[in-house]
Structures are given as C-alpha cells and as structure tokens.
C-alpha cells in the first residue's frame, strides 16, 4: 500500500530535535541522581548511558525516535532503527535488544503502513544481530517511530566523547548534507540519484565503524545526528576540554547538497544549530578553516543516522582509513584536536 508519510510532518528525522542550547538549559535545572555504577551519564552529553554491572560487563542504554524522514514506510522503519542503534555503536558496544516506540494515528493512516514501519525496524535490528523484544504504542496525530536500545560493553573498552587529546586526527565516516537533501526533495529540487544516495546512507549501520574503532582501540567518538557536525563536535570538545580544528575543504558532502545550499535551500534546523555553535559559550571550542557560508551551513546541517566522528592517534590513521573506506568510501580526515 502506498502512503506518503512526508505529508504528515513539517520536520522529519533528527531535524525534529529540540535545539541544543534549549536542552542544555533544561538539563542544567534538573537535580540528577548520581551513582558510582553510572560510568557515563548526563554530565558530558554523550551518545548513551553506561551502567556497570561487574568488572567485565556494563549495560549501554539509549533511545531515539522521530517523525518520518521519507515517504516510504518500510524505509522509514529501517532508518529510524539504524539511527537508534547508532548510539550503542558510538560507545563501542554490541547491540543486544530493543523495544519499539510507536506513535501512530490509527484512525487516519491505514494500519498496513504501521506494519511496514515495524517490518523495516525489525529487519534492521536483525541485520545488527539483535532482537526486538516488545515495545509501546500510543495513538498520536503525527506518526513517530524509534527504539529503546540495550547494548553490552566491557567497562574498560568504553568509547566516549570526553577523552580527546591534543594531536588526535578527526575522522568522519559519512558525508554531510542529509537534512539539506531531504529539504530539497520536499521542494522537488533534489535529483533522484542524490536523494537515493542519502536514503542509503541513513539506512547504513555504523556497526562496521564500531568494529574498526574497537580493533584499533579508539577511545573517543560520537555519531553525527540532529545537532550537525559542528554541534556534536562542540559537545565532544566541551566534554574533553579541547578545541576542534576542522578544515571545511576536507569534509565530504553528499552529491547535490552544495548546489541546493547555493540555491538557498537551507533547512530550519541548520539555523538552530548555527545559533548553538556560534553562542559565546561555545564558539571558542571550534576553529574552522576554508569555511565559506555554504560550507558552514552544511556543517550545521542536521543529519539523520549520520556517520561517526572519531578522534584517532596519528600513528593509527592510515590503517583505520583503509579499513573504514571498505564500508564507508568517503571516510576522510577533516581536522585535528588542539589544546
């Protein structure tokens, strides 16, 4: 059954996130409980929480859901599931199981569409070698789908956003521009092959990137989603108390994204991310080189199920690039970490 899910939303995918600066203010006002067993919590705005069970095992716990990012229900389910599991991979973990999170207008959209969304999520979780073990469903005017995900990791092998060091190379695994390409698609400005490229990138798991990071004992990484490359880079820089140097000429972009920005096709989420990045308490964490206005707007672009940004010791860069490019061909060194 055909049903265009994009007709139900204004903002889809990770573009629907609340702005980063608003979230930070909200969290500052909460009295959050502490425990020695919580190895990664809210303090560093990391990708997922980690709770220590014993000396050799810790649980990774995360959740992510959003409104449709594409028209097709099955593809939406795949993308939402891949995006939710990405947080576990960003921490270096193995995905164990997940719960479906479903908001759906059961009287307005045929239930066959919901079935296709769930089938897409199920197939992507199966691809990850994990299991969907239940979920929760509510009736809601705007459809939304995602997962609550549980992963497993050795406490000594956790990858966080708080351990970057001066001299580390910055490696990005997927090209930017998903939000811009999606906005262009809504306006009939995006070429079909470019839109198909963006869908393929969003469906691609970050599992292989995780395996490469673990093999080479990478300690610092984050996945790039709704706050854009610069938004997530600043969160990493703040957590690690470093400055991030990025050369915009070295950042890979999806085919067609730059042309759309040059035409003025810039999603609203990019401006929200720009406000956060350029705020007085954030902007000194980032140094940009060769960043035209158009490139800056793509560095702010909200990604859905984006790639990994990892901080890598210089002596490991060549080997890691070679292996990552087998799975993510546009993987590139885009800068370095400074004091």
Note the pLDDT of residue 328. Answer: 98
CATH number of the domain residue 242 falls in:
3.90.650.10
Q: pLDDT tens digit string along 80-120?
A: 999 999 999 999 999 999 999 999 999 999 999 999 999 99
Catalytic one among 14, 45, 70, 265? Answer: 14
Asked if 95 and 194 sit in the same domain, the reply is no
Residue among 146, 162, 175, 160 nearest 301 (CA):
175
Asked if 141 and 226 sit in the same domain, the reply is no
Q: Which of 102, 129, 157 is the last residue of a domain?
A: 157
Asked if 334 and 185 sit in the same domain, the reply is yes
**14 catalytic residue (yes or no):** yes
Residue 76: inside a domain: yes
Concatenated DSSP letters for 73-131?
Answer: HHHHHHHHHHHHHHHHHHTTPEEEEEEEEEEE-TTTS-HHHHHHHHHHHHHHHHHTT-E
Note the pLDDT of residue 26. Answer: 81
Burial 40-73 (b: 16+ CB within 10 A, else e): beeebbbbbbbbbeeeeebbbbbebbbbbbbbbb
Confidence of residue 299 (pLDDT cuts 50, 70, 90): very high
Asked if 135 and 267 sit in the same domain, the reply is no
Mean pLDDT of 239-258: 98
Residue 164: inside a domain: no
What is the rounded CA–CA span in Å between residue 215 and residue 211?
6
Give, in order, the Cα–Cα distances in Å from 258 to each of 184, 199, 269, 294: 11, 17, 16, 7
Mean of per-residue pLDDT scores for the chain:
95
Note the pLDDT of residue 197. Answer: 97
Q: Which of 132, 157, 182 is the last residue of a domain?
A: 157
Q: pLDDT tens digit string along 265-290?
A: 999 999 999 999 999 888 899 999 99
What is the rounded CA–CA span in Å between residue 310 and residue 313?
10
Query: What's the total number of domains in the chain?
Result: 2
Q: Which of 157, 181, 214 is the last residue of a domain?
A: 157
Q: Which residue has the higher pLDDT, 31 or 273?
A: 273
Q: pLDDT tens digit string along 302-338?
A: 999 999 999 999 999 999 999 999 999 999 999 999 9
What is the rounded CA–CA span in Å between residue 220 and residue 293?
29
Give, in order, the Cα–Cα distances in Å from 272 to each of 16, 49, 130, 257, 308: 11, 25, 35, 19, 21
Note the pLDDT of residue 1. Answer: 62
**What range does the domain containing 118 cover?**
5-157
Mean pLDDT of 28-46: 84
Those residues with Cβ within 8 angstroms of residue 280's Cβ, 6 or more apart along the chain or in another chain:
none
What is the rounded CA–CA span in Å between residue 61 and residue 74?
25
Mean pLDDT of 205-211: 98
Task: Take residue 192 and report the two structure tokens written for it.
Answer: 């079909």
Mean pLDDT of 120-129: 98
CATH number of the domain residue 131 falls in:
3.30.1330.10
Asked if the model's pLDDT at residue 233 lies above 70, the reply is yes
Asked if 220 and 329 sit in the same domain, the reply is yes
Asked if the model's pLDDT at residue 11 lies above 80, the reply is no
Asked if 242 and 116 sit in the same domain, the reply is no
């Amino acid at each position: 059954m055909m049903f265009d899910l994009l007709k139900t939303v204004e903002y889809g995918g990770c573009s629907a996130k609340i702005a980063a600066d608003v979230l930070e203010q909200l969290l500052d006002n909460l009295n959050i409980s502490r425990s020695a067993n919580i190895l990664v919590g809210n303090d560093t705005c990391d990708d997922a929480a980690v709770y220590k069970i014993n000396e050799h095992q810790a649980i990774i716990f995360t959740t992510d859901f959003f409104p449709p990012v594409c028209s097709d229900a099955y593809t939406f389910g795949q993308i939402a599931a891949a995006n939710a599991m990405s947080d576990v991979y960003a921490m270096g973990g193995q995905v164990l199981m997940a719960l479906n999170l479903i908001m759906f207008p059961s009287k307005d959209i045929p239930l066959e569409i919901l079935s296709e969304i769930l089938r897409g999520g199920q197939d992507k979780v199966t691809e990850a070698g994990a299991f969907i073990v239940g979920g929760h469903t509510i009736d809601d005017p705007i459809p939304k789908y995602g997962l609550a995900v549980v992963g497993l990791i050795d406490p000594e092998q956790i990858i966080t956003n708080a351990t970057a060091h001066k001299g580390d190379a910055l490696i990005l695994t997927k090209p930017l521009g998903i939000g811009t390409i999606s906005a262009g698609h809504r306006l009939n400005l995006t070429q079909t092959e470019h839109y198909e490229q963006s869908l393929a990138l969003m469906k691609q798991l970050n599992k292989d990137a995780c395996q490469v990071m673990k093999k080479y004992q990478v300690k610092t990484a984050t996945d790039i989603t709704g706050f854009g490359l610069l938004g997530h880079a600043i969160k990493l820089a703040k957590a690690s108390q470093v400055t991030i140097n990025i050369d915009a000429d070295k950042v890979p972009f999806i085919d067609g994204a730059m042309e759309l920005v040059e035409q003025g096709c810039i999603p609203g989420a990019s401006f929200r991310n720009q406000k956060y990045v350029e705020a007085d308490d954030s902007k000194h964490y980032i140094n940009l080189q060769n960043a035209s206005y158009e490139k800056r707007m793509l560095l702010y672009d909200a990604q859905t199920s984006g790639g990994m940004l990892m901080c890598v010791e210089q002596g490991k860069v060549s080997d890691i690039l070679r292996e990552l490019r087998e799975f993510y061909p546009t993987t590139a060194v885009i800068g370095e970490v400074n004091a």
